[in-house]
A and B are shown apart, each in its own frame.
Chain A
Amino acid sequence: MSNKDELEKLNRLKAPMPSKAARAAAMTAAMEAFDAAEAEKTTTSTQGFALGNRLKAIFDLERIFKMDIRVPITAAAAGLLLMPLAMQLNSTTGLVPPADINLPFSTTEPAIVDLEDDAAIETRTQAKSEMTAAQDGDSAETAPSPVPEPVMEAEMAEEQFSDLAASAEAPAAPAPTTQILSRKLQAVTGAQNSAIVSGDEAAFAPLRDRIAVPEMPAGDRFEAFSDQTQVSVADQPLSTFSVDVDTASYAYVRRALETGVLPPRDAVRVEEMINYFDYNYPAPESAETPFSITTGVFPTPWNANTRLMHIGISGYTPPQLADQPANLVFLIDTSGSMNDADKLPLLKRSFALLLDQLRPEDTVSIVTYAGSAGVVLEPTEVSDRRTILDAITTLQPGGSTAGAAGIETAYRLAARNFDEDGVNRVILATDGDFNVGISDPETLKSFIEDKRDDGISLSVLGFGQGNLNDALMQALAQNGNGNAYYIDSYREARKVLAEDVAGTLVTIAKDVKIQVEFNPATVSSYRQIGYESRALRAEDFNNDRVDAGDIGSGHTVTALYEFVPAGMSDGLIDPSRYSEAEPVASPEPGEEYAYIKLRYKLPDGDVSRLVEQPVTVGSVFDATAMAGNDQRFAAAVAALGQKLRGSTAVDGISYADIAALAEGALGVDAHGYRAEFLDLVGLARTISGEGVCAHSGVDVDCR
């Protein structure tokens, strides 16, 4: 064999497609360098550019999508690029401290900042292997940024392109380390969505809020929201909210803590953390009153002057609903970024778990988008398990073809196979690429709403991190009457797919709203814990046109209020001088703390029904320890959630106290979820530096 033939083989080398993330990061870095170069040309100060850019960089979903929407479908490959690019243009800046660059989550706690040298990160971070690898290679490699040696040596002299080479080589020197590294950090930080803290709150805000440590771009996006505030009952006796049985936030928080950092505060939705767990509230006995409401009032573990009101709701599953056939269409993101072990491969591995939960006559279809587009599996009965598993196995992330009509295809399949008596649902699995064919979020939402009204719901399974668009995920699932989940591990996949999806599949009630009316004779002020994003106006409660959350078979809903009993003061709100407590519509005023109303619609109904129950003094426990396991455990979860959000309300409880509270309330804990929570409290304690007593000069109790 001659050498010539041999060498010809080289043209068989086919380079794989670059990952979208790398591409986007390169684009961003290039644009930054370009801007910097331009700024250098025009002004002497380049620093001002970076700062100004950061300040302006309030992340705006719409901008991205507006940009995207103008991209014609024929140029969809370019569109794929534009979206992450736009995110990045708003985000990555040279201000990112290189030492922290590998952390996937933001850290703002100053106590850890001290510890956050490379070594500390190394030991505490159980980062994914790819991250570690990247860190080893890249930081070592790019940091010194060696001045390039003259290239082409002697030949350069005899070359007509000497100036060309010079121009290409010269800029290599300033190639910023952070830009190279920032590829690992995608898109936008939570800081740009950061919560709005009012003046008063800011004054009392714990250290976490006061320190001007910039949050780092983490890529995952969360809707910003402020904590609920203490409300005087005289002003506002009604508290109205929609149920929320999503659990995505808990999984995200867990992942952050397990990685060794505190989650971004907007990633912490306390109600989702609370509702992650199974609670054994007594089930309703019949379809007559399809919801049971369990209440309890006990001293707040973190504030001796207040009481905690616990509301636990459990739904009744009519036997005929339990037998509902399911028509599931999986819409799976196969973009290159789904290649990570904790994304598509994880979904593949856990798919069989879901099939186990379905009945043989249920149907499953699979549609892909982003990477490769199209119908991978026509509606197939679960009894044909082999075919379904084969189809899911063939899924390969990558490729540059944009799946333009992904979502429409999915809904078309669902509609074609529509089962009037069953559950018809599209399940979107993605790591944040919502380029499903409809790029404007509002259009997408109304599309999903339309389909919901046709009887097809939508659930979203979020995978991985770095690009997760939590806000949109939540919004879509809420508009689609479905649920949003965040799946970070096989364990979570099992919980979601095998235990929850099977439960959520069978919706037992929709548009479930709760209104709590506090009795001014017994309660002076209250504060709802969590549910910030689920709050409704009082008048929405009776308005059947206002959409709210659904409850699936086997789900429980838990809500907590912290309230100040009449006659006591938490010092926050002075008693009103003029308004007298108005009598409430209750047979025996003074004996009730509150009155709970729950509205729901049957899955196929349009008119809501009402379930009511008072919270009487009969449900009061004099000591926290006397409350039930479920109630104490929910309180512990609420405490952790609020602490992670940096809420001052829970300054009175340490992580150690939370752990003790939870430990005493584990109950049966068949799946070990509560035990796992204990571990998380321990991690949060370590990360926050509690016990280290680093919070000098601040009103944080170091125990």
Chain B
Amino acid sequence: MTETVERIEVDSAADAADPPLDQLVRRAKSGNRAAFSALIADHYDMIHRVAWKWCGDGHEAEDVAQEVCVKLATAISGFDGRAAFSSWVYRIVINTVRDRQRSAVRRKALAVAHLELAETEDAAGQEEALAAQELWQAVRQLPAKQRDAVLLIYAEEKTHAEAATILGIKEATVSWHVHEARKALRRLI
């Protein structure tokens, strides 16, 4: 417990360059419970945010986030540190979303999605939000790889290199997926 507290006093930042994060990951990896707890606490918002952007549904995002947290618990010991921790987390989130969406049951949750968005925007931004939302709905209908690439680069504002790391593909492949996505979107919108 003391260690949890200790950690929380350190300003939490999900930045891979932050030495305490490395330390935390290392300790969590070796089975330190408090370190893992702090790690999840630090990353939960990010996990949830990504899950939400990918699913567009609050409940689903929470479920995905929880599943990811559970996965991290067992996966952490196998984390080899070759990629940044956050990239690794991104990847787990995206894979989790993909797994879950293979199940057709999820489809019905989509209808709820746009209601939620409208509420969070102020009146002035509504118009724009609506447009963005239409686009976003379209993006979500893209094949998973194209969607992942597009959302990472445009919604999460990652560079092509970062997206490549997260998705575990080459940079050129990312660009190609984005290119394909553009073509597909042109047809959809």
**One of A24-32, A274-282, A691-699 at the interface:** A24-32
Interface of B is mostly: helix
B92 adjacent to chain A (CB < 8 Å): yes
Is B40 touching A12 in the complex (CB atoms < 8 A)?
Answer: no
Q: CB-nearest residue of chain B relative to A66?
A: B1
Kindly identify which residue among B60, B73, B98, B155 contacts A37, using a CB–CB cutoff of 8 Å.
B73
Is B71 touching A168 in the complex (CB atoms < 8 A)?
Answer: yes
Is A170 touching B75 in the complex (CB atoms < 8 A)?
Answer: yes
A26 to B45 Cα, complex, angstroms: 11
B83 smallest CB distance to A (angstroms): 6
B173 adjacent to chain A (CB < 8 Å): yes
Contact with B along A394-429 (1 / 0, CB 8 A): 000000100000000000000000000000000000
A604 smallest CB distance to B (angstroms): 45
Contact with A along B125-152 (1 / 0, CB 8 A): 1001101100110010000000000110
In B68-103, the 8 Å CB interface with A consists of: 69-80, 82-83, 88, 91-92, 95-96, 98-100, 102-103
In A487-504, the 8 Å CB interface with B consists of: none
Kindly identify which residue among A19, A32, A79, A152 contacts B169, using a CB–CB cutoff of 8 Å.
A152
Instruction: Please give, as numbers and ranges, the residues of chain A lying within 8 Å of B185 by CB-CB distance.
Output: 3, 6-7
Instruction: Please give, as numbers and ranges, the residues of chain A lying within 8 Å of B160 by CB-CB distance.
Output: none
A164 adjacent to chain B (CB < 8 Å): yes
B64 smallest CB distance to A (angstroms): 10
A578 adjacent to chain B (CB < 8 Å): no
Instruction: Please give, as numbers and ranges, the residues of chain A lying within 8 Å of B96 by CB-CB distance.
Output: 172
Instruction: Please give, as numbers and ranges, the residues of chain B lying within 8 Å of A37 by CB-CB distance.
Output: 73-74, 77
Contacts A142-B63, A152-B168, A161-B82: A11 and B1 contacting too (C-beta < 8 A)? no
Is A168 touching B189 in the complex (CB atoms < 8 A)?
Answer: no
Kindly identify which residue among A26, A33, A142 contacts B62, using a CB–CB cutoff of 8 Å.
A26
In A60-89, the 8 Å CB interface with B consists of: 67, 70-72, 74-75, 78-79, 81-82, 85
A151 adjacent to chain B (CB < 8 Å): yes
B175 smallest CB distance to A (angstroms): 13
A169 to B59 Cα, complex, angstroms: 22
A179 to B17 Cα, complex, angstroms: 32
In B31-73, the 8 Å CB interface with A consists of: 31, 33, 36-37, 40-41, 44-45, 48-50, 52-53, 58-63, 65-67, 69-73
Contact with A along B1-19 (1 / 0, CB 8 A): 1001100110110000000
Is B189 touching A6 in the complex (CB atoms < 8 A)?
Answer: yes
Kindly identify which residue among B66, B100, B153, B157 contacts A141, using a CB–CB cutoff of 8 Å.
B100
A34 adjacent to chain B (CB < 8 Å): yes
Kindly identify which residue among A9, A16, A31, A33 contacts B120, using a CB–CB cutoff of 8 Å.
A16
**One of A132-140, A200-208, A511-519, A640-648 at the interface:** A132-140
A224 adjacent to chain B (CB < 8 Å): no
Instruction: Please give, as numbers and ranges, the residues of chain B lying within 8 Å of A176 by CB-CB distance.
Output: 70
Instruction: Please give, as numbers and ranges, the residues of chain A lying within 8 Å of B129 by CB-CB distance.
Output: 12
A701 adjacent to chain B (CB < 8 Å): no
Contacts A11-B157, A180-B63: A3 and B150 contacting too (C-beta < 8 A)? no
Is B103 touching A78 in the complex (CB atoms < 8 A)?
Answer: no
Q: CB-nearest residue of chain A relative to B108?
A: A137
Is B168 touching A159 in the complex (CB atoms < 8 A)?
Answer: yes
B182 adjacent to chain A (CB < 8 Å): yes
Interface of A is mostly: helix
Is B102 touching A6 in the complex (CB atoms < 8 A)?
Answer: no
A33 to B105 Cα, complex, angstroms: 26
Question: Which one of B9, B63, B116 has the highest number of Cβ atoms from chain A below 10 Å of its Cβ?
Answer: B63
A5 to B50 Cα, complex, angstroms: 22
In A162-212, the 8 Å CB interface with B consists of: 162-172, 174-176, 179-180, 183
A15 adjacent to chain B (CB < 8 Å): yes
Instruction: Please give, as numbers and ranges, the residues of chain B lying within 8 Å of A137 by CB-CB distance.
Output: 59-60, 63, 105-106, 108-109
Instruction: Please give, as numbers and ranges, the residues of chain B lying within 8 Å of A583 by CB-CB distance.
Output: none
Question: Which one of A152, A162, A176 has the highest number of Cβ atoms from chain B below 10 Å of its Cβ?
Answer: A152
B163 adjacent to chain A (CB < 8 Å): no
A276 smallest CB distance to B (angstroms): 35
Instruction: Please give, as numbers and ranges, the residues of chain A lying within 8 Å of B67 by CB-CB distance.
Output: 142, 172, 175, 180
Is A27 touching B37 in the complex (CB atoms < 8 A)?
Answer: yes
Is A146 touching B173 in the complex (CB atoms < 8 A)?
Answer: no
B25 adjacent to chain A (CB < 8 Å): no
A25 to B59 Cα, complex, angstroms: 13
A85 to B44 Cα, complex, angstroms: 13
Is B135 touching A26 in the complex (CB atoms < 8 A)?
Answer: no
Is B41 touching A25 in the complex (CB atoms < 8 A)?
Answer: no
In B160-186, the 8 Å CB interface with A consists of: 165, 167-170, 173, 182, 185-186
A152 smallest CB distance to B (angstroms): 6
Instruction: Please give, as numbers and ranges, the residues of chain A lying within 8 Å of B66 by CB-CB distance.
Output: 22, 25-26, 29-30, 179-180, 183
Instruction: Please give, as numbers and ranges, the residues of chain B lying within 8 Å of A13 by CB-CB distance.
Output: 53, 117, 132, 136, 155
Kindly identify which residue among A23, A70, A75, A134 contacts B59, using a CB–CB cutoff of 8 Å.
A134
Kindly identify which residue among A27, A71, A151, A160 contacts B95, using a CB–CB cutoff of 8 Å.
A151
Instruction: Please give, as numbers and ranges, the residues of chain B lying within 8 Å of A163 by CB-CB distance.
Output: 78, 80
A360 to B154 Cα, complex, angstroms: 55
A631 smallest CB distance to B (angstroms): 50
Contacts A26-B62, A137-B59: A41 and B70 contacting too (C-beta < 8 A)? no
Kindly identify which residue among B72, B88, B128 contacts A164, using a CB–CB cutoff of 8 Å.
B88
A11 to B157 Cα, complex, angstroms: 7
Instruction: Please give, as numbers and ranges, the residues of chain B lying within 8 Å of A17 by CB-CB distance.
Output: 45
A386 adjacent to chain B (CB < 8 Å): no
Instruction: Please give, as numbers and ranges, the residues of chain A lying within 8 Å of B99 by CB-CB distance.
Output: 146, 148-149, 151, 172
In A225-272, the 8 Å CB interface with B consists of: none
Q: CB-nearest residue of chain B relative to A6?
A: B135
A33 smallest CB distance to B (angstroms): 4
A17 to B108 Cα, complex, angstroms: 22
Contacts A146-B102, A164-B80, A175-B71: A11 and B154 contacting too (C-beta < 8 A)? yes
A304 adjacent to chain B (CB < 8 Å): no
A1 smallest CB distance to B (angstroms): 10
Instruction: Please give, as numbers and ranges, the residues of chain A lying within 8 Å of B92 by CB-CB distance.
Output: 168
A119 smallest CB distance to B (angstroms): 19
A621 to B36 Cα, complex, angstroms: 68
Is A10 touching B136 in the complex (CB atoms < 8 A)?
Answer: yes
A622 adjacent to chain B (CB < 8 Å): no
Is A167 touching B79 in the complex (CB atoms < 8 A)?
Answer: yes
Is A71 touching B8 in the complex (CB atoms < 8 A)?
Answer: yes
Contacts A18-B61, A141-B105, A155-B173: A164 and B69 contacting too (C-beta < 8 A)? no
Kindly identify which residue among A9, A22, A141, A151 contacts B106, using a CB–CB cutoff of 8 Å.
A141
Is B69 touching A30 in the complex (CB atoms < 8 A)?
Answer: yes
Instruction: Please give, as numbers and ranges, the residues of chain A lying within 8 Å of B153 by CB-CB distance.
Output: 7
B8 smallest CB distance to A (angstroms): 5
A176 to B66 Cα, complex, angstroms: 11
Is A12 touching B128 in the complex (CB atoms < 8 A)?
Answer: yes
A141 to B129 Cα, complex, angstroms: 30
Instruction: Please give, as numbers and ranges, the residues of chain B lying within 8 Å of A78 by CB-CB distance.
Output: 8, 12, 41
B contact residues vs A (CB 8 Å cutoff): 1, 4-5, 8-9, 11-12, 31, 33, 36-37, 40-41, 44-45, 48-50, 52-53, 58-63, 65-67, 69-80, 82-83, 88, 91-92, 95-96, 98-100, 102-103, 105-106, 108-109, 116-117, 120, 125, 128-129, 131-132, 135-136, 139, 150-151, 153-155, 157, 165, 167-170, 173, 182, 185-186, 189
- What are 9 A-to-B residue pairs whose CB atoms are below 8 Å? A9-B132, A9-B135, A25-B66, A30-B40, A34-B74, A82-B8, A137-B108, A160-B82, A161-B83
Please name 14 further chain A to chain B contacts, defined as beta carbons within 8 Å, in addition to the given A12-B128, A16-B52, sorted by A numbering: A7-B153, A10-B139, A18-B48, A19-B62, A34-B36, A141-B63, A151-B99, A155-B169, A161-B168, A164-B88, A167-B78, A168-B92, A171-B70, A172-B67
List 7 tightest A-B contacts by C-beta distance, closest first: A167-B78, A171-B74, A33-B73, A30-B69, A34-B73, A22-B62, A15-B52
